[in-house]
Amino acid sequence: MTEFPKNFLWGGATAANQYEGAWDVDGKGASTADMLLGGTYEKPRTFTKEIKPGAYYPSHQGSDFYHHYKEDIKLLAGMGYKTYRMSVAWTRIFPNGDDAEPNQKGLDFYRSVFEECHKYGIEPLVTISHYEMPYHLTETYGGWGNRKVIDFYVKYAETLFNEYKGLVKYWLTFNEINIGMLFGGYMSLGLPAKDGAAPFSGKMSDEEIQANLQGLHHQFVASALAVKIGHKINADNMIGCMIAGQVSYPLTSNPDDVLKAQLTNEINNYYCGDVQVRGAYPHFAQRYWDEHNVKLNITAEDAEVLKEGTVDYYTFSYYSSSTVTADPSKAENAGNFSMGVKNPYLKYSEWGWSMDPKGLRWYLNDVYGRYGIPVMVVENGLGARDTVEADGSINDDYRIDYLKGHIEQMKEAIKDGVDLIGYTPWGCIDLVSAGTGQMAKRYGFVYVDRDDDGKGDFSRTPKKSYYWYKKVIESNGEKLENK
């Protein structure tokens, strides 16, 4: 294969809590994401135990997809999208998480969204849980730390599989499940947090690692059960995992740096990938647990479920790479959730994320070589500030350059023999940043009039990259020039 396959799934991606808004409309309950205030690169977002009157919570309005979905899907269709990755807000379906019956208005909303996609021949790709869960489950049950939450999730997933049979075929069980072990805490595991805390853990104690890994184990079991049920409900369902692709290079050829990079890649990517694709914890897990005094409660039944509920395809996000060293005297640099040292060969974005298209080729080869199942890049992109010119145009050449470089490397990976089936760049229509809560960190092909203080009328304007990406899709990845 030397070019993109004919049925390649070109598209884009969003998530409900960053995009949908209407956080308390038509019976929707509060999610963990709805309790997060905005932040900046320098100042982390914070969690509040109650909604503070007058404070600005970015997820509450997002980009108001709830009231703009017809316009938005038409815009995506205008670029020729084959697929649209989005997430369902658990709290729109089960407002508290432990409700006996689903919320009909929530079910109806997503049915209309999926029908609208099909009107244009766009295949929905649905993330069942993307960085949010019913806040009630955190408060009352302790989030994913509690085994009972598995049953609530499974009931939710089963409801979706039944309800949208024939409308949705591609599913992802959890977004970036490995963030649960890398940064854990509130945002990805819904573990109870203190008022005013950041949603991600910083440097973790062994107790925190224990709590995160047990919560993560519950997510693995929930994911595997969902895969089993999803296949039973519809044998055509393609159910995948989603991993935050973390590429770690050794800073030097010193064997200590090389070993450190190997271990970092194993822990960051394969701890979760192996459980979800191979159905068992990898060989290096036991040593990691021992070194952090972790004792997991894994029942014999859990082990069986993990084996039976392996995924059909592997998806991941890729934004940047990190560089690690065993030398403690070297300064660390924050980037894409992980820490590392500065790579002298790479440029960095305003938010400190390295730009490394070749890292994507490396990762694609690495995961495909390990798992041998179809692979999809379901997030990629450059978070950057955009300027609206006097004539209303937005000339985001920097974004085009970034995406072009990554598409070129995907092409190389396909030549290398990787079975790459799709590409959905992140935040195809501008949305709230998960990490900082800002609107200013934009990824989209379409500009949304909204700022960090909640001002703006939500009007949509295609950027220069919109017309560029349209040509990329039309030519199936052949026309990449920016002209």
User: Which residues does the annotation mark as catalytic?
Assistant: 176, 379
Q: Which is nearer to ligand BG6, 411 or 441 (CB)?
A: 441
Residue nearer to ligand BG6 on the CB measure, 179 or 414? 179
Binding segment (CB under 6 A) for ligand BG6, from list 322-330, 434-442, 446-454, 461-469: 434-442
Least distance CB 439 / ligand BG6 (angstroms):
10
Instruction: Please provide the distance, in angstroms rounded to a whole number, between the alpha carbons at the two ends of the chain.
Output: 27
Sign of CA pseudo-dihedral 371, 374, 379, 380 = positive
Interface pattern 35-74 for ligand BG6 (x via CB under 6 A): ----------------------------------------
- Under rule CB under 6 A, residue 426 binds ligand BG6: yes
Footprint (CB under 6 A) of ligand BG6, residues 2-21: 15, 18
Is residue 379 a contact point for ligand BG6 (CB under 6 A)? yes
Residues constituting the chain: 483
Please identify, using beta-carbon distances, which residue of 59 and 214 lies nearer to ligand BG6: 59
Q: Which residues contact 460 (CB under 8 A, 6 or more apart)?
A: 68, 71, 72, 75, 429, 446, 447, 448, 449
Beta carbon of residue 378, minimum distance to ligand BG6 (angstroms, whole number): 9
Among 212, 246, 276, 317, binds ligand BG6 (CB under 6 A): 317
User: Of 309 and 435, which has the nearer Cβ to ligand BG6?
Assistant: 435
Query: Torsion-angle region of residue 98: left (phi > 0), alpha (psi -120 to 50) or beta?
Result: alpha
What are the residues whose beta carbons fall under 8 Å from the beta carbon of 61, sequence distance 6 or more?
Answer: 21, 22, 23, 450, 454
Q: Is 2 helix (H, G, I), strand (E, B) or coil?
A: coil
Tell me how far, at minimum, the Cβ of 17 lies from ligand BG6, in Å.
Answer: 8
Site for ligand BG6 contains 375 (CB under 6 A): no
Tell me whether residue 110 or residue 200 sits nearer to ligand BG6 (CB atom): 200
Residue whose token pair is 């999730």: 153
Instruction: Please list, in sequence order, all residues whose beta carbon lies within 8 angstroms of the beta carbon of residue 359, skipping any fewer than 6 positions away.
Output: 247, 249, 318, 320, 321
| Cβ neighbours for 99, distance < 8 A, ≥ 6 positions apart | none
Distance CA 231, CA 237 (A): 6
Q: Which stretch binds ligand BG6 (CB under 6 A): 90-98, 106-114, 426-434, 473-481?
A: 426-434
Structure tokens at 148: 């009972």
Binding mask 112-131 for ligand BG6 (x = CB under 6 A): -------------------x
- Does 215 bind ligand BG6 (CB under 6 A)? Our answer is no
Among 80, 250, 357, 383, contact with ligand BG6 (rule: CB under 6 A) = 383
Give the helix ranges, DSSP H, for 268-338. Answer: 271-273, 285-291, 300-308
Residue 417 burial (10 A CB sphere; 0-12, 13-18, 19+): exposed
Least distance to ligand BG6 from the beta carbon of 127, Å?
Answer: 9
The verdict on 87 binding ligand BG6 (CB under 6 A) reads: no
Q: Is 272 in the site for ligand BG6 (CB under 6 A)?
A: no
Binding-site residue total for ligand BG6 (CB under 6 A)? 15
Specify which residues 250 forms β-bridges with.
324
The closest of 226, 39, 17 to 132, measured between CA atoms, is: 17
Check residue 435 for interaction with ligand BG6 (CB under 6 A).
yes
Residues between 139 and 198 that touch ligand BG6 (CB under 6 A) = 175-176
Cβ nearer to ligand BG6, comparing 163 with 379: 379
Backbone angles phi, psi at 67, to 5 degrees: -105, 0
> Is 4 or 443 the residue whose CB approaches ligand BG6 more closely?
443
Binding window for ligand BG6 (CB under 6 A); candidates: 106-114, 231-239, 284-292, 432-440:
432-440
d(CA 388, CA 365): 39
Binding site for ligand BG6 (CB under 6 A): 15, 18, 131, 175-176, 244, 317, 379, 383, 426, 433-436, 441
